[in-house]
Amino acid sequence: MGNYSISFLSALKTYHTMYLYASVIMLLMLSHLSFGQNTDKLLTKADQSFEALAYINARDIYLDVAKQGYSSADLYRKLADSYYFTGEPEESIQWYEKLISNFSEEIKPEYLFRYAQSLKSAERYDDSDNIMERFYIITGNDKRAKSFINRRDYLDFIEMQSGKYDLYTLTINSEYSDYAPSFDHKGNIVFASSRSKNSKLHEWNKMPFLDLFSSKINNNNISTQESKKLKGKINTKFHESSTSFSKDGNTMYFTRNNFTNNKLGKSRKGVVLLKLYKATFSNQKWSDIEELPFNSDNYSISHPALSPDGKQLYFASDMKGTRGKSDLFVIDILPNGKYGNPKNLGDDINTESRETFPYVSESGRLYFASDGHVGLGGLDIFVAIPKDNGSYEIFNVGKPINSPKDDFSFVLDEDNNTGYFASNRKGGKGNDDIYSFRQTEELITECKEYLSGIITDSETNETVANANVTLLDTDGNIINEIKSDYDGAYSFEVDCDKQYIIRVSIEGFNPNDIIFKSRNTFETLNNVPIPFKKEKLLSMTSEPVNIGDDIVTPLQLRTIFFDLDTDDIRSDAIADLQKVISVMKQNPNLKIEVRSHTDSRSSYWYNKKLSVKRMRATVRYIIRNGGINWRRIRGKAYGERRLINECTNGTPCTEEKHQENRRSEFIVRK
């Protein structure tokens, strides 16, 4: 009985323990289920706010869910983006890191780019570059990736470009957001500010809505006076920003939320987007406000910029045909209030990211903000230089205009080299601040390199003063001519990524030509010393040259070689062909015959045809590039008939041996 009682009690304890455990597990399951249901509701609410661009509302919920231990790629993505899209990229870093570390297989490459940009905002450039390397490997054809790879030394260039502006802080800034300055051509700047005492906050960044203000520019063209809100029916309870004025100051183009005739318009997704409007200044106030006809409820158009002649309007938009988040477009302003069709400014300017806030200076330079072109982080300001063929060349304007933060809405008065821009950099008074500047130096707006060296006698190593030094292009056109100085030194300014001929000539001797290829590195100094070999000039009065002689020997030319299976003039042959041209110009009675040869590979008739092409290419170069009369030069093509070594058909030979047979000769006829 006692044993039974002990067993019973033991079983009872076991039963109670099991019941307790089961109850705990059940409670945990119910708690988890409740947590999961509650989390789903919270995330649904947050996602709705996120899709409506109410990033801060969404972020608060996402942060609360994350603190409770919830983890997903979508959560980290939206948390990071909620900071990124509200101009707080440093705060986004930890969430992009979690996203990429834990869910790398589930994310699009775009998040690598945003992560790299955010790292720049914290001045972690090496880390950012490493991420961009990964971004390039994954995407390949992405313009931003190519731009990074092609300008891997972007920080060096920005450093060279930097220091060309003096910056000044302005008293007109508030504790809120102040940006988008523009000249009204009546001695004022007009800018957007959220300082208005408006209780309504924008859900995107929890800031009051923007209104337009003006401030008188002082005589120093830099500082400004107290600001005043624009008069008339220009400001509403919604956003107004980024203006551009006609030369007389009486017509203003500006950005406003989709609010026309006191009616708020929304896109198909229920979002209030941006549109362009025009207003007229009359009786000391702005009136006759009209929406521009190329707006749409379903995409944004913003940040207008008139061309200097007032015939074109530039703007930013995400309309159809946009490459990235926003592109720059231009539209013709036609008579009678009509407009042409918007034209995308193309791949020189627009990337897969944001191009925005255009401004066209009096000289026709296009300044704009971008986070797609390679910069210091966030939006950087760039200048686009128009070319004759309609394309643009893009340059970062450097520090101190640009910083690791957002720098944008740049305007410049080229008459006095002063202007304004906005930035959310550290040390400002508010969210965005306006800064004035004075430009003190010209920007680097083309890739230039510098070529210099010392000319010496190749036998004595003594410097050669007063030698003629000529810089030619590969067609033989003279670009520049100078004489070496007392120390034998010479120097030229050259374009990047281009091939040149440097010719040194001294009276009584054959000119010495060398080929030089510049790199694609801005402001680089290339040191090219030239040892001058004194060879007596071939002429009718020099050592006798007989009919039938090959002038390669007396001129000490290298053989004019060709690559396998081509008739292209090689770069290493150009200098020697230029020497032949020079001798023919110095000896106007000299007539020559160009003889062209191939190696033995391929068929006899194929080689005969190829040698004809090579002969014609050589003769054509001398006639066209040297200006030599065609009657003084003729050609013959021998194919493989006159090999100069043992490399006949079927005979094993090295490539160097075959190369000896692929040649042109210059035989004296008269």
**What is the residue-wise DSSP string for 45-69?**
HHHHHHHTT-HHHHHHHHHHHHHTT
From residue 31, alpha-carbon distances to 24, 70, 116, 235, 545 in Å are: 10, 14, 40, 52, 106
Query: What pLDDT digit, counting tens, does each position of 83-95 carry?
Result: 998 889 999 999 9
Classified as helix, coil or strand, 245 is strand
- Report pLDDT for 1: 40
Query: What pLDDT digit, counting tens, does each position of 5-55 carry?
Result: 333 334 333 444 444 444 444 444 444 444 456 778 888 888 888 888 788
Classified as helix, coil or strand, 536 is strand
- Report pLDDT for 3: 41
- Report pLDDT for 32: 45
Give the closest residue to 434 by CA, choosing from 122, 176, 123, 196: 176
How far is it, in rounded angstroms, from Cα 638 to Cα 597? 5
User: Average pLDDT of 131-154?
Assistant: 90
CA 337 from chain centre, in angstroms, equals 35
User: Average pLDDT of 457-472?
Assistant: 93
How far is it, in rounded angstroms, from Cα 108 to Cα 77? 10
- Report pLDDT for 135: 93
Amino acid residing at 497: D
Is 333's pLDDT higher than 90?
Answer: yes
- Report pLDDT for 307: 97
Is 149's pLDDT higher than 80?
Answer: yes
User: Average pLDDT of 154-176?
Assistant: 95
- Report pLDDT for 370: 97
Q: State the residue for tokens 């009786």.
A: 283
- Report pLDDT for 563: 60
- Report pLDDT for 303: 98
- Please give the angle made by the CA atoms of 323, 325 and 328, to the nearest 5 degrees: 65
Which domains are assigned to the chain?
35-161 (1.25.40.10), 173-439 (2.120.10.30), 448-532 (2.60.40.10), 560-668 (3.30.1330.60)
CB 364 within 8 A of CB 335: no
What is the percent of the chain with per-residue pLDDT over 70, rounded to a whole number? 88
What is the percent of the chain with per-residue pLDDT over 90, rounded to a whole number? 55
CB 176 within 8 A of CB 161: no
Q: First-to-last CA distance in the chain?
A: 140
Classified as helix, coil or strand, 272 is coil
- Report pLDDT for 8: 33
pLDDT band at 206 (very low <50, low <70, confident <90, very high): low
Largest CA distance in the chain: 142
* Range scoring the smallest mean pLDDT among 38-52, 180-194, 279-293, 534-548: 534-548
CB 357 within 8 A of CB 409: yes
H or E segment to which residue 317 belongs: strand 312-317
Amino acid residing at 599: D
Is 540's pLDDT higher than 70?
Answer: no
How far is it, in rounded angstroms, from Cα 407 to Cα 400? 10
pTM over 0.85: no
Query: What pLDDT digit, counting tens, does each position of 401-447 carry?
Result: 999 999 999 999 999 999 999 999 999 998 899 999 999 999 999 88
Is 361's pLDDT higher than 90?
Answer: yes
- Report pLDDT for 553: 66
Classified as helix, coil or strand, 147 is helix
- Please give the angle made by the CA atoms of 353, 355 and 357, to the nearest 5 degrees: 150
- Report pLDDT for 637: 86
**Non-local CB neighbours of 606 within 8 Å, separated by 6+ positions:** none
User: Average pLDDT of 218-234?
Assistant: 94
* C-alpha torsion sign, points 168, 315, 413, 239: negative
- Report pLDDT for 359: 98
